[in-house]
Structure 1
Amino acid sequence: MIITIGGLAGTGTSTVASILSQNMGIPYLSAGDIFRQMAAEKGMDVLDFSKFAEGNTDIDREIDQRQAQAARESEDLIVEGRLSAYFVEAPLKTWLTAPLDVRSVRISHREDKPVELVREEILTREKSEAKRYQEIHNLDIGDMEVYHLIINTERFDAPGVAQIIEKAVEVI
């Protein structure tokens, strides 16, 4: 089965995808992994490649294409990335959400930064990404109609969210 997992920063997409992969015995591919692979292919470290990618919309398109290609070539795959549901054919497209304050605290702990700084970084990043997604793909990241399952991760830990997704898979 192909499953996509998307969500904004701090919602737990990578953690949930990893747990789900282990629980279900299905490989997992993240947009971040593809980005790192592309950096290596160019002989660049991730920071240099990030700067290179800022003004190069072909990088975003290539990440989307590689995710879609991997899913087409797989019978079972969990694909994690903000836009995965838009480019990957999947019987279960999942979006994880959580309030901004919750996400800010999670990232603050993970990155050992002040919560208020993280909150501002999240807002800046999300505004920039929304604009970029609109310009590159004509997509509104806030449009949830593409998703089959939307989970607010505020009250559930990552293993619990993975269990919810597993239950959804059982009834498809």
Structure 2
Amino acid sequence: MLITVSGPPGSGKSTNAAGLADRLGLDHVSGGDIFREMAAERDMTPVEFNEFAENDPQFDRNLDRRLHEIATTSDDLVLESRLAGWLAGDHADFRFWFDAPVSVRAERIAERESKPVDRAKAETERREASERKRYLEYYDIDIDDLSIYDAAYNTARWSPGRFLDVLVATVEAYEPVDDEGKAPIEGVNYDF
């Protein structure tokens, strides 16, 4: 089973994808971890690296190509990244989208990264604007189009433990259909 978890920064993707993988006995791959490693290698923050990547599409394409390859060749995996649902295409058995109000996400990021909330909010908004622009330009993906997801959740509505219970129950209730029941995502340029 391939499960994708997508959403904006601070939405709970990493925490819940790791927890879901653990509870279901699946592997976990985080695109965010790979992206942060790429930024650190260049001595940049993720926000700085996002803006740097606007000028050289090869950084995004390399990361997305790698995640696409993982998504299309792996089973028994929870793949987590902002574009995971799009990158997996019709290979995903289940696609989740997580979100929360920007104020909640900024508080989570500020706590995680030991920075003031107002700074985390400003950086998050800059990062999201940068990513939105690049995804549309590179792949013709409107990141705000949630129609490809099987379930979308506002993660601010549950405590972390209860939310994980909701996710596990959702996956356990899933009944796969044959390959003809999976619809490819129309209109997406898969040239990563």
1:54 Cα offset (Å): 4.7
Question: Mean Cα displacement is larger for which, 138-147 or 162-171?
Answer: 162-171
Residue aligning to 1:119? 121
Distance 1:101 1:164, change over 3 A: same
Match for residue 170 of structure 1? Answer: 172
Q: What's the TM-score once normalised by structure 2's chain length?
A: 0.79
One-letter amino acid of the counterpart of residue 139, structure 2: H
Q: Is the Cα–Cα contact under 8 Å of residues 130 and 141 in structure 1 kept in the other structure?
A: yes
The alpha-carbon distance between structure 1 residues 34 and 107, as it changes in their structure 2 partners (threshold 3 A), is closer
**Using a 3 Å threshold, how does the CA distance of structure 1 residues 48 and 103 change in structure 2: closer, same or farther?**
closer
Offset of 1:129 from its aligned partner?
Answer: 1.1
Using the aligned pairs only, state the percent identity: 37
Deviations 1:54-87 (A, max 9, x none): 5321221222221221122222110000001011
Structure 1 stretches of 5 or more lacking a match? none
The CA distance in 1 between the partners of 2:141 and 2:98, in whole Å, is: 18
Q: Aligned residue for 1:2?
A: 2
Note the 1:93-112 alignment, pairs <5 A: 93-112=95-114
Given residue 109 of structure 2, which amino acid in structure 1 is its aligned partner? I
Distance 2:36 2:87 in 1: 19
Query: Which residue of the partner structure matches residue 142 of structure 1?
Result: 144
Taking the aligned partners of 1:115 and 1:75, their CA distance within structure 2 comes to 38
How many residues were matched structurally? 168
Deviations 1:1-33 (A, max 9, x none): 100001111111001111111111100011134
Structure-2 separation of matches of 1:32 and 1:109: 17
Residue pair 2:5, 2:79 contacting (<8 A) in 1 also: yes
Q: Do 1:36 and 1:46's aligned partners in 2 also have CA atoms closer than 8 Å?
A: no
Unaligned runs of 5+ in 2: 175-192
Matched residue of 1:47: which SS? Answer: coil
Contact (CA 8 Å) 2:4, 2:95: kept in 1 or not?
Answer: yes
